[in-house]
Amino acid sequence: MSDQPWLQRLSQFASIAAPSSVAAALLFYFGYVATYARYLYFGVDLTALDLSTTDVVLHGAEALYAPLVGLVVLVLAVHLVVRGLRRALARGDWARTLRAVAVVLVPLGVLLFARGVVGVLWPAVSQDEFPGVTPIALGFGLPLVAIGVWLWRAVHGREDRGPGRVVVACLVLIALLGVFWATNSFAAAYGRGIAETVGARIAEERPAVVVDTEEPLQLSLPGMQERLLPGADDRKFRYRYRGLHVLTEAGGKLLLVTAERNGRSGTIVVPYDGSVRILFVPG
C-alpha cells in the first residue's frame, strides 16, 4: 500500500512526459528537415551552421503549422462522417445512398493506393508532384477500401463481421505513416519555399555589409566588388568588399551572399571575430 502514491505519481509523470517528449522530437525532426532544405538552396550544409536545438525546434514549429491544422480538420471530418454514417445506418432509410458511397470508396481507395505505389517505385513521379501526394495516397488508399467494405457489409446487415482489431490497428498505422511522410515532404518544401522567398528579396530584406579583410578572398561572385584600400601597406585591413548581404549568423560565423541570381551564386562564410572588419550598412 505504501508504494501506491509513488505508482500514481509515476503514472501521472509518464502521461505528461511521454506526449511532450514526442512533440519535442517531432518539432526537432521536422525543423531539421525544413532548415536543411532552406540552407541547401544556398549551397550550405546544415552541419556548417552549428545551430542550437532551440533554433531547429523553432523552424520545426513553423513547418508544422499547416500540417497540424490539416490533420485536425481531417480528424474532425472523419469523426463527423463516421457519426453521420452510423446514424444513417441506424435509421435504415439511406441504404441506396450508402451503397453508392461504398461502391465509390472501394475503387477510389484502390486507385489511391496504386498511385502511392507508383510514386514509391518511380521516384521521378514523386519528385515532381505536389508535396505529400504519394504518401497521402499510399497511407489513405487501403483505409478507404476498408471503410467502403465495412459500409457495404453494414448496409446488408453484416456489420458484426467487420475487421478485427489487428486489421484496424494496421490500417491506422498505415494512415499515420502516410501523414508522417507527407509532413516530412511538406517540411522540406516549406524550407525551400522560404529560401526562394529570401533569395528573391535579399536586397530588400537582408542587411547589407561591407567586409574588410587582411588578405584577398580570391573570389569572383556576381554583384561583389573588391577594392584595395588607400594606404593598404600601412593598414591591417587592406581589401574591402561590397555587394554582400547577411544570410544568417550561426556558430560565430557570418554567411554572406550577393543579391545576384537570387543569392544562389555562392555563399561566403567569414568568422565573426577580429580577423575581419564588418560594417553593417543601413538599407
The full set of domain ranges for the chain reads 4-200, 202-281
Convert the pLDDT of each residue in 18-31 to its tens digit: 566 777 788 888 88
* Percent of the chain surpassing pLDDT 90: 20
Across the range 200-205, mean pLDDT stands at: 87
> Tell me, what's the pLDDT at 158?
62
Closest CA to 256 of 230, 228, 281, 227: 281
> Tell me, what's the pLDDT at 209?
92
d(CA 269, CA 105): 55
Convert the pLDDT of each residue in 73-123 to its tens digit: 888 888 888 788 777 777 766 777 888 888 999 999 999 999 999 999 988
C-alpha cell at 8: 500514481
d(CA 116, CA 122): 10
Report how far apart, in Å, the C-alpha atoms of 124 and of each of 141, 187, 197 are.
Answer: 21, 19, 25
> Tell me, what's the pLDDT at 2?
45
Q: pTM of this prediction? A: 0.77
d(CA 153, CA 93): 16
Residue 48 burial (C-beta neighbours within 10 Å; 0-12, 13-18, 19+): middle
Convert the pLDDT of each residue in 213-256 to its tens digit: 988 888 888 889 999 888 766 778 889 999 999 988 887 888 99
d(CA 88, CA 98): 8
Query: What is the rounded average pLDDT for all residues in the chain?
Result: 83
Closest CA to 110 of 148, 82, 78, 153: 148
Q: Is the dihedral of CA 102, 108, 114, 116 positive or negative?
A: negative
> Tell me, what's the pLDDT at 256?
92
Backbone φ and ψ for 259, nearest 5 degrees, come out as -80, -10
